Amino acid sequence: MASLISNNEGLLIQPAIQLRKGYLVAFPTETVYGLGADASNESAVIRVYEIKRRPKSHPLIVHIAEKEKIIYWTKKIPDYVFSLIEYFWPGPLTLILNKSRKAGDFITSGQDTIALRMPQHPISQTLLLNFQSLGGHGIVGPSANKFGRVSPTTANAVLAELGDSLSVNDLILDGGPCSIGIESTILNCSEETPVLMRPGAITREMLIEKLDRDIDIYDSEGTGKPVRFSGNLKHHYKPNAQVILNEQPVPGAGLIALSNYTTPKGVIRLAAPHDEFEFAKMLYHALRLGDEKKIDKIYVFEPENNGIGIALRDRLKKASS
Ligand code: TXA
Ligand code: MG
């Protein structure tokens, strides 16, 4: 069982030391909590796969402390990428780039690209900077859940999800609830035209506006070069309960819907967000709450298909499939 460190234990030197020693540290980001390991330490990264029960064929995101670290991990960076990181980093945007020789096959699943992200949460930033000052180059951070399940958005959710599998030398940092609540936008920048792989809080429209160029959307049924990544599986982000979309909830079932939707008699309201941002922030917590209450069906009324609503509908489609 790992120790849980609360957010007022400030300097985060010890967690950075534990990472450099090869232990795992779960940490908060603005999107969801990640399960961190030293991206240059193969045996630590292998433990991440084992603890998550994640197939080896699904590569990991490397989190970096500074924009400049992009040079260490990648090569042949298209020019437009510099505008992107200028504007959107630190933040909830992951970029897929051609990897340098520094990036081991054990983080990229043998693919010739690597996913990089510079998070914005003060705890992840401090942790990354301390880790870098100890000679580290990046921290892998898949969402801190078992493969295929709901991402954790609080330290307690990480503890419930992975606590039994972590050892006494591993840590879970508590940074409170994540402010965004769903995983980062993933943009593949390994070719001349960027491709949106996973929608998130940074929307395609925001990217197009900043770049002043078009962005393709990844088509998993298309004939393009096959790319392996778990968010692209049909089933993902799944609680124990069955998730049912846009249908009238029955008594005894759970309900997640915007606050203007009244809870029918006998239905257990799990979240009543006021807008789509609050929806994102509450969604995973509400799905977990449904499981805690041993509810077997959770009804969700989807938000509209624009802005962060596009990402929410993407996650809900997979959670309900
Ligand atoms: O918000 C986030 O991105 C969180 C926080 C902790 O940073 N992390 C996260 O990691 O969501 P994960 O592993 O749960 O999801 C990352 C996705 C996976 O679907 C993975 O397969 C894909 O990114 N991915 C990683 N490297 C890739 C690569 N080189 N090419 C294509 N997909 C890649
Ligand atoms: Mg994940």
Cα of 142 to ligand 1 centre, how many Å? 6
pLDDT of 11 reads: 74
Query: With 70 as the cut, is the pLDDT of residue 309 above it?
Result: yes
266: region left, alpha or beta (phi > 0 left; psi from -120 to 50 alpha): left
Residues 108-162 pLDDT 10s: 999 999 999 999 999 999 999 999 999 999 999 999 999 999 999 999 999 999 9
pLDDT of 192 reads: 86
Cα of 245 to ligand 1 centre, how many Å? 25
Task: Write the secondary structure of the chain as one string of H (helix), E (strand) and C (coil).
Answer: CCEEECCCCCCCHHHHHHHHCCCCEEECCCCCCEEEEECCCHHHHHHHHHHHCCCCCCCCEEECCCHHHHHHHECCCCCHHHHHHHHHCCCCEEEEEEECCCCCHHHHCCCCEEEEECCCCHHHHHHHHHHHHCCCCCEECCECCCCCECCCCCHHHHHHHHHHHCCCCCEEECCCCCCCCCCCEEEECCCCCCEEEECCCCCHHHHHHHHCCCCEECCCCCCCCCCCCHHHCCCCCECCCEEEECCCCCCCCEEECCCCCCCCCCCEEEECCCCHHHHHHHHHHHHHHHHHCCCCEEEECCCCCCCHHHHHHHHHHHHHC
pTM, 2 dp: 0.95
Cα of 293 to ligand 2 centre, how many Å? 23
Residues 227-242 pLDDT 10s: 555 556 677 889 999 9
Query: With 70 as the cut, is the pLDDT of residue 221 above it?
Result: no
* pLDDT more than 90, % of the chain: 88
- Ligand 1 pocket residue status of 30, Cβ below 6 Å: no
Residue of 184, 199, 195, 213 lying closest to 89 (CA atoms): 184
* pLDDT more than 70, % of the chain: 94
- Ligand 1 pocket residue status of 231, Cβ below 6 Å: yes
- Ligand 1 pocket residue status of 183, Cβ below 6 Å: yes
Q: How confident is the prediction for the chain on average, in pLDDT? A: 94
The pLDDT-based confidence of 5 (bands split at 50, 70, 90) is: confident
- Ligand 1 pocket residue status of 58, Cβ below 6 Å: yes
Residue to substitute in 30, 31, 58 for testing ligand 1 pocket (most ligand atoms within 8 angstroms of CB): 58
Question: Cα-atom radius of gyration of the chain, to the nearest Å?
Answer: 19
* 39 vs 308: CA distance, rounded Å: 30
User: Which ligand gives the minimal distance to the CA of 26?
Assistant: 1
Residues 155-199 pLDDT 10s: 999 999 999 999 999 999 999 999 999 999 999 999 889 999 999
Give the residue-averaged pLDDT of 255-263: 98
The pLDDT-based confidence of 40 (bands split at 50, 70, 90) is: very high
Give the residue-averaged pLDDT of 38-54: 98
Query: With 70 as the cut, is the pLDDT of residue 270 above it?
Result: yes
